[in-house]
Amino acid sequence: MAKLPMIKSPENHPSALAYDAECQGALAEHVDKLLDHAEAAGWDRTKAASAVMYLGAKRLKAKTDGP
């Protein structure tokens, strides 16, 4: 039996106008849970959200800088 993905799969093509909003909707609950875990561990929620943004941007840059 195939294991279902933890994150909802996209219904729209990446070039579709609705794609970004759909992606945000699919990730929102997971980001909220991540921030809840960080806050429960003692991290400031705002600083943790900033760190998530930084890490996302850093990974995007690394992917575009690659070979």
Would you state the pLDDT for residue 66?
A: 63
Residue 67 confidence class, pLDDT cut points 50, 70, 90: low
Q: Rg for the chain (alpha carbons), in Å?
A: 15
Q: Is the pTM here over 0.95, yes or no? A: no
26-60 pLDDT, tens per residue?
A: 999 999 999 999 999 999 999 999 999 999 999 99
Residue for token pair 């909802």: 8
Q: CA-CA distance, 49 to 55, in Å (whole number)? A: 10
pLDDT given for residue 3 in this prediction: 81
The per-residue pLDDT for 39 is: 98
Would you say residue 62 has pLDDT above 90? Answer: no
Kindly state the greatest CA–CA separation across the chain.
Answer: 41
User: How far lies 9's CA from each of 5, 16, 22, 30, 36, in Å?
Assistant: 8, 15, 9, 14, 24
